[in-house]
Amino acid sequence: MENLDVMVLRTLRDWRQAGQRALLATVVRTWGSSPRPVGSIMALREDGAVVGSVSGGCIEDDLIFQHTSAYQDKSEAAPKPMPSGAPTFVKYGITADEAHRFGLPCGGTLELLLEYDPDPASLAALVTALESGQLMQRGVRLADGAASLAPSLAPAELTLSATELVNTFGPEYRMLLIGAGQLTEYLATMALFSGFAVTVCDPRDEYRSAWSVPGAKVLSDMPDDVVAAFKPDGRSCVVALTHDPKIDDLALLEALETDAFYVGAIGSRRNNEARRQRMIEHFGQTEASLERLRGPIGIYIGSKTPPEIAVSVMAEILAVKNGVALPRDVDVSHAKNERAVPENEAGAADVRDALVCGVAVRA
């Protein structure tokens, strides 16, 4: 499964290249509680087909009713055409009654920009750039809907002026996964549809040859070299998943020297402690220098299978990305909080470690 924005834009491109009329709806403003953030998009075809989302579903239904012939009364002689011309704005949820009608949280209001029949050539160029992993800005001139494209050096929030809308598309966050085992496949899949650009590094041919997740870049170099070339920044995370100190340790040490928002490694509490001792005794690290190293990784949900473990790890990564304090991080130091982990979590971590090791070897 891929990034939702790319899916929407690719589908819209295909509709327009086939000569079908369609509109692109973008959330440009919200007040109070809103079901989708600013910048969210959906595409609507003239026959009522929809891809993407700007709400929980009720607003999509109203857009279909207002702008297509999908709900047309059979007694009407001619199909209701989709509007055309310059982009228009529409608001939903202005009053409490409307908020209830459209399924918005109480008091929530959102405003959409509707673009009619976006240029297929411009959409094709945008999709091609996004599929190659580029971060792109798309500008829309409000006077006539003309679109412009430009590469972006950094993620940016949607901006709206009196004359133009600018929305940034592409992978805002990057994930580097060390090891190409089965757990990595599940985690990479979830990261891709969560909007991350995913790179997988494994110097072992037998693991790379079995890789089956499209959309992730796979490298064969030594992981510490890959981390150095990857240049993790504040929108990057590095996760070691091999259980092999010869592969994981140097890469983790390299990652800890960067601004990566998350650096972690799979393993039980016992293996995690052994890793820290190795790094202190053989690589000159200290408890302070290892404070950012997370392990055991994942939110405790009783995980006992690779897919569930991947869910727990992805949940923790997203929580850290979104600035959500996890129970295990409440103390001053993650490392010092290890003894506060419930005993049932400690046992599950050991079982989880053994299970992951058991499924990692591929035929």
195 lies in the same domain as 240: yes
Q: Residue 231: which of 207, 208, 260 has the closest Cα?
A: 260
- pLDDT band at 334, cuts 50/70/90? very low
pLDDT in tens, 6-38: 899 999 999 999 999 999 999 999 876 666 789
288 and 346 share one domain = yes
Q: Give residue-wise pLDDT tens across range 294-308.
A: 998 999 898 889 999
Among 169, 204, 233, which residue terminates a domain? 169
> How far apart, in whole angstroms, are the C-alpha atoms of residue 218 and residue 232?
17
Question: What average pLDDT does range 222-242 have in this prediction?
Answer: 94
pLDDT over 80 (residue 258):
yes
Which tokens hold the place of 139?
Answer: 């500008």
Most confident of 31-40, 89-98, 119-128, 294-303: 119-128
Picking from 140, 169, 198, the residue at the C-terminal end of a domain is 169
Domain boundary residue, one of 144, 169, 194 = 169
349 and 204, same structural domain?
yes
pTM: 0.66
Q: With the C-alpha atoms ordered 332, 335, 336, 338, is the resulting torsion angle positive or negative? A: positive
Tell me: the pLDDT tens digits for 51-65? 999 986 678 888 998
> How far apart, in whole angstroms, are the C-alpha atoms of residue 314 and residue 320?
10
Total tally of structural domains belonging to the chain: 2
- 111 and 58 in one domain? yes
Question: Distances in Å between the alpha carbon of 320 and those of 220, 238, 294, 313, 327?
Answer: 28, 13, 11, 11, 12
Alpha carbon distance 75, 122 (integer Å):
38
- Answer yes or no: do 233 and 128 share one domain: no
Is 229 found in the same domain as 131? no
- Do 322 and 254 have their domain in common? yes
Average pLDDT score over residue span 234-261: 94
Assign 3-state DSSP to the chain and report helix, strand, coil percentages, each to 5.
Answer: 35, 20, 40
Cis omega before residue 118 (within 30°)?
Answer: no
Looking at residue 347, which CATH number applies to its domain?
3.40.50.720
Domain check: are 198 and 121 in the same one?
A: no
Same domain, yes or no, for 229 and 123? no
Higher-confidence residue of 329 and 240: namely: 240
Clarify whether residues 259 and 162 are in a common domain: no
Q: What pLDDT shows up at residue 298? A: 93
**Residue 141: pLDDT over 70:** yes
183 with 326, same domain: the answer is: yes
Average pLDDT, the chain: 85
| Residue 343: domain span | 173-360
Q: Same structural domain for residues 180 and 150?
A: no
